[in-house]
Chains A and B, each alone.
Chain A
Amino acid sequence: MRPAVAAVKWLARTLAIVFLVLAGSTILVRCAPGYLSDAREMDSRYADAARAELSAEAARSGSMLHMLSSEVSGWTHGNAGISRQYGIPVFELIRPRLAVTGGLLLRSLGLAWVLALSAALLSSAGRNPSMLWQIPATVLLAIPTAAMATLCLLGDRGGPVFVMALLLAARDFKFLHRALRKAWLDPHLLQARAQGMRMYRLLVAHVLPATSPQISALASLSIVTALSALVPVEVIFNIPGLGQLAWNAAMNRDLPVLLAVTMMMAVAVTLAGMASDHPPGWRSA
């Protein structure tokens, strides 16, 4: 019974989040300056009749009720609506970009976690915290993602995976270092080390199980951070992924696309949160 209740709760929470995203994004985009304007209005080649048609179209699509109903209709038709900017179903825009963004996320997260975990293990296992690791992590945390991406572009070295991985590794390292350090200094571990227990055994049987809730929470936070870095990284490196699509949609007040991307992000964040609420079990000694 308990898993069923938990599943219902999770579903209700997810639906509530999706609804809030839908309503919030619609209101925000509708109220954004310039939602009803069309760049063609500035084109002096258009005659009055064409302008009148543009204005009528804007008035039709401007009402909140019309916007919401067309969104709902788009989702019930299974295409998430028609993009205002491109004039094609939103899913047609999203589908090819999913693989691009997914690949970028996986590679970045993989590299980031390897770097962060290795650095945290090294720095936390010593007697004193190592500045060798702390200083670069602090410096990297201070550099905005867009600035790092631009530097890479100007230096012609390092790509989007590198930038995302550095950003994530710097954030993850700080948390990992603290959690591991605390675990290493637990009295029973100090005693076990004094008794000569093998370090590998200590790590697998004591340290990792003790820190697994924090690591799990950090993993979900990592996904959220990676999602937030997607837009600047994909825009600056010109990667045809969801981040770039979201940026263009925001610039062009393309509500159907924005909604679809935002909802996908919301679902991804909710799933990540759920995963961190239920970390995988770790065999403890």
Chain B
Amino acid sequence: MRTLKMRIWIATFSIAALFAPALAHTCAAQAAPRMPGELAWTIGYDPKTFDPAKVDDQESELVRYLTAGVLLRFDRFTQKIEPQLAESWNLSPDGKTLTFKLYSGLQFSDGSSLTSKDVAWSIRRVLLPATGAPVAEEFLSPSGVTIDTPDLRTVIVHLPQRVIGIGKIFDEIAIEPASRPSEGRVTSGPFIVAEYRRSQYVRLRPNPHYAKHDASGHPLPYAAGVRLDILENHEQEIRLFEHGEYDLIDSLPPDYFELLKKKTPSSVRDLGPSLNTEQMWFNQAPQAPLPAWEKAWFQSRSFRVAVSQAIHRADLARIAYLGHATPAYSFVSPANAAWYDSKIVAPRADVAAAKAGLANAGFRFHDGVLQDSAGHPVRFSILTNAGNDARLKMATLIQQDLAALGIQVTVVPLDFPALIERLMHTQDYEACLLGLENVDPDPNAMMNIWLSNSPNHQWDPSEKTPATSWEAEIDRAMNRQASSSNDAERKQAVDRVQQIVADEQPFIYLVYPNVLVAFSPQLKGIQPAVLEPELVWNAESLRLEGTR
């Protein structure tokens, strides 16, 4: 028996030794080895398309940003429009004619010439309904746009009507070789798509014919390439960043930011409030399948204001975001210097005032429970998307805050498809807590949220006519800012909308999450910006120095 046991022990240890690599294997393994001088970071999912005209998701947008040559670039740091392929551009006084003059000697990455014909073809392709480009809608009447090319360097775009922020739209139109769309393989931007392995990585290599040079005449980009690993798991991303496998992390969740800060404080940076907002709202749609008394609560301004007053936004920022968020009272973030209005008067945390407001509106407290005038106890559920820890924490904190008013709240996390169905199709919900990602500082980009007839007018979508006088006033103010060429008049209109929203609280703004990033000390040329893509907006100027 002893002999057998000994043999089994020996066999076990021998075999265990054979499999030791499985145990010793670290979780920090990249999808592919990294090339010298190559920058690497992660994206959350596979880009849906490499066709720059069809981009409608964040990851495809990043690939387009890194690969596309555009006429004008919206500088994420200065927040100003800068010419890129265009040497100069001008807009006619009536705002209907744009004239671009291209640099001479422009080339695509395959060495072929880039002329006004390519520009015209690329713009026309984006405008075609068959292409289905989301950017086409920004021209307001895409079918009425015409393009002339009087010579090989001049492009004239005729618009049927003035379009606010027209320059920024050209930041999203990639110039491709005429009649040769290549899905990013032939570009006029800093990089080209070299390799794509689904669910693993996208590899970009430098465009050898990229037009831009640095101040000393050195051709750009500096980096030998970019590898975007497709990785959803933040724990693994952090590990690989710590191991030096990744050079940067955009949009860090607060808890991971704190984790990295403890280990490598010099690698993390809190850039302050982003343009994004987190907000909750009540379902005010008359057709919602809710009891009439609940609709009456949600349509009551006093009720919404009282809820807003009961929420301690500073606690939301401190606990849910570990201090990396800023209390919000408006849809324009303080990071948006041009449009932020510091004079907004909005309901602040004041439980006593909230109780008084509710009492004045006919609500009463009975055994610690808030009841409406008909005796219905006030309780509702807040939907939010599962998987977002900060949102879930905020919803739980709001649940506690509203308990002080005698309101019973249930938090319901749903996955996104189920949530969208409730919000956009069945409207079977009472309140919702979500965020809005603002990629454009100009409030004109939010037209579809504020106009009462829009499907994205979340608290009461697609109103045939404005349901209330204040919604009608918002419509008028938003249309005024969209049709005016006078910046001061536009600002005045947007300020008015901000004040109406603060008074009526259709959206109860909670916080502006801060922009949290991490980058390697070896990464040079980095200039973090609050606008996406925060760390790589100047990717052509980024380079690695020293050893990892």
Do chains A and B interact in one complex? yes
Cross-chain contact B448 with A122 (CB below 8 angstroms): no
**Using a CB-CB cutoff of 8 Å, which residues 161-184 of chain B contact chain A?**
none
In the bound complex, residues from chain A placing their C-beta under 8 Å from that of B199 are: 97, 240, 244-245
Cross-chain contact A203 with B132 (CB below 8 angstroms): no
In the bound complex, residues from chain B placing their C-beta under 8 Å from that of A152 are: 27
Cross-chain contact B239 with A156 (CB below 8 angstroms): yes
Cross-chain contact B415 with A251 (CB below 8 angstroms): yes
Nearest A residue (CB) for B243: A156
- Report how far A119 CA is from B3 CA in the complex, Å: 16
Judged by a CB distance under 8 angstroms, whether A175 is at the interface is no
- Report how far A203 CA is from B456 CA in the complex, Å: 72
Chain B interface: which of A14-22, A33-41, A275-283?
A: A33-41
Nearest B residue (CB) for A150: B235
Number of interface residues of B (CB under 8 A): 60
In the bound complex, residues from chain A placing their C-beta under 8 Å from that of B31 are: 240
- Report how far A54 CA is from B511 CA in the complex, Å: 32
Cβ of A183 to closest chain B Cβ, rounded Å: 14
In the bound complex, residues from chain A placing their C-beta under 8 Å from that of B468 are: none
Of A42, A125, A154, A240, the contact of B424 (CB 8 Å cutoff)? A42
Cross-chain contact B8 with A121 (CB below 8 angstroms): yes
In the bound complex, residues from chain A placing their C-beta under 8 Å from that of B415 are: 34, 251
In the bound complex, residues from chain A placing their C-beta under 8 Å from that of B24 are: 157
Cβ of B232 to closest chain A Cβ, rounded Å: 7
Return the CB mask of A238-254 against B: 1 if under 8 Å, else 0: 10100011001001110
Cross-chain contact B27 with A237 (CB below 8 angstroms): yes
Cross-chain contact A34 with B417 (CB below 8 angstroms): yes
In the bound complex, residues from chain B placing their C-beta under 8 Å from that of A199 are: 1, 3-4
**Using a CB-CB cutoff of 8 Å, which residues 197-220 of chain B contact chain A?**
197-200
Judged by a CB distance under 8 angstroms, whether A258 is at the interface is no
Cross-chain contact B134 with A237 (CB below 8 angstroms): no
- Interface of A (DSSP majority class): helix
Cross-chain contact A125 with B417 (CB below 8 angstroms): no
Nearest A residue (CB) for B426: A33
Cross-chain contact A159 with B235 (CB below 8 angstroms): no
Cβ of B224 to closest chain A Cβ, rounded Å: 25
Cβ of B349 to closest chain A Cβ, rounded Å: 29
In the bound complex, residues from chain B placing their C-beta under 8 Å from that of A156 are: 26-28, 239
Nearest A residue (CB) for B19: A111
In the bound complex, residues from chain B placing their C-beta under 8 Å from that of A266 are: none
**Using a CB-CB cutoff of 8 Å, which residues 1-32 of chain B contact chain A?**
1, 3-5, 7-9, 11-12, 15-16, 19, 22-29, 31
Cross-chain contact B22 with A158 (CB below 8 angstroms): yes
Judged by a CB distance under 8 angstroms, whether B138 is at the interface is yes
Cross-chain contact A33 with B421 (CB below 8 angstroms): yes
Cross-chain contact A34 with B416 (CB below 8 angstroms): yes
Cross-chain contact A37 with B425 (CB below 8 angstroms): yes
Cross-chain contact B239 with A118 (CB below 8 angstroms): no
- Report how far A153 CA is from B235 CA in the complex, Å: 7
Most chain A CB neighbours (cut-off 10 Å) among B22, B23, B48: B22
Judged by a CB distance under 8 angstroms, whether A136 is at the interface is no
Nearest A residue (CB) for B24: A157
Cross-chain contact A35 with B27 (CB below 8 angstroms): no
Give 15 A-B pairs besides A42-B424, A118-B15 with Cβ atoms closer than 8 angstroms.
A33-B414, A33-B418, A35-B417, A41-B424, A43-B134, A44-B446, A45-B56, A86-B46, A115-B15, A118-B11, A153-B233, A153-B239, A157-B27, A159-B22, A193-B1
Task: Report which B residues bind A (CB closer than 8 A).
Answer: 1, 3-5, 7-9, 11-12, 15-16, 19, 22-29, 31, 45-46, 48, 56, 132, 134-135, 137-138, 197-200, 231-233, 235-236, 239, 414-425, 445-449, 454-456
Task: Report which A residues bind B (CB closer than 8 A).
Answer: 32-48, 50-51, 53, 86-87, 93, 96-97, 107, 111, 114-115, 118-119, 121-122, 125-126, 150, 152-154, 156-159, 161-162, 165, 193, 199-200, 203, 235-238, 240, 244-245, 248, 251-253
Across chains A and B, which 8 residue pairs bring their CB atoms closest together, nearest first? Answer: A34-B417, A33-B418, A199-B4, A44-B448, A37-B420, A159-B25, A118-B12, A240-B199
8 contacts between A and B (CB under 8 A): A39-B416, A41-B420, A45-B56, A114-B15, A122-B8, A158-B23, A199-B1, A245-B199
